[in-house]
Structure 1
């Protein structure tokens, strides 16, 4: 157990260095069992709505995860709770043919940063919430350890 804590701290330091990030947060999934009813929410502030942002899923899973992909439903809401968007996304966590994990790994843990929205412009400055729900047939979904969101200022080179 102590080894797992050291690994998690090292991975946190490794992925915690996004200079363009205006928001980055994870929610741990208790015992690696993600129930459909467990839909983490991430609320963040957008100060400048005149610039584009890239939004990413952050996901941590163990190699024992039983699928090569993960279906997630995401909901984007403004500060009044109005739903601006809902969408089903598929994240590819492993090569479907070889089973080789995607993402950055250390031991049997893998971190994934998957683009959710590219060059997105928020309608106005203010608070926004993204809620994420797993949309697989298995309930609970095993070996998903944490899920999160990163919001970054988009590079002007794009």
Structure 2
């Protein structure tokens, strides 16, 4: 009887491990950069360097933002730049909603820290081998800070994730 239980336990552990691995196999890249003192200055760009070896599979690119209750806006403006291995650059100005119409935080998390996984590029094919540089800067301003002299408070981490399209 003891041997049967041990075999069943081993099978259950193996099954759970395979299940966990199969859930994350589409993740190609996932990295976060913490924001010092949770104050993101407009001149501080966050850079991610991704080495592309797969020139066949289409991918989705996400910008991941973690914010706390000190974030004071209902939306977030970002300037995102991709530099291809060949030197070609693509620059996008992005706007993301951080709260719903009632002012409730969007994203996941049960504490004051919320995490938002924001679509950046969909079904993109990185056809060149080599290093891709992703740069992200915040461009959110209050009415009284048009030049962006004040930091954006409440952003704790900025991340980039890339997933293969299923």
Equivalence for 2:135: 131
| Cα shift at 1:99 | 0.8
Aligned twin of 1:3: none
Q: How does 1:31-46 map to 2 (within 5 A)?
A: 31-46=37-52
Matching residue of 2:60: 54
Computing the radius of gyration from Cα coordinates, the structure with the larger value is 2
TM alignment of 1:113-152, pairs within 5 A: 113-137=117-141, 138=148, 139-152=150-163
Runs of 4+, deviation exceeding 2 Å: 79-82
Contact between 2:85 and 2:128, CA under 8 Å: does it hold in 1? no
5+ long unaligned stretches in structure 1: 1-16
Cα deviation, residue 80, structure 1: 4.8
Runs of 5+ unmatched residues, structure 2? 1-22, 142-147
Q: CA deviation at 1:112?
A: 0.6
How many Å separate the matches in 2 of 1:60 and 1:149?
A: 12
**Residue 99 of structure 1, aligned match among 100, 103, 116:** 103
Q: Deviations over 1:48-92 (max 9, x none)?
A: 111100000010000221011100000000235431x10000111
Does residue 153 in structure 1 map to residue 164 in structure 2? yes
Secondary structure, counterpart of 2:120 in structure 1:
strand
Q: 32-41 or 138-147, which moves further after superposition?
A: 138-147
Taking structure 2 as the reference length, the TM-score comes to 0.78
| Cα RMSD for the two superposed structures | 1.4
CA distance in 2, matches of 1:41, 1:114: 17
Q: 2:91 aligns with which of 86, 89, 106?
A: 86
| 3-state DSSP of counterpart to 2:70 | coil
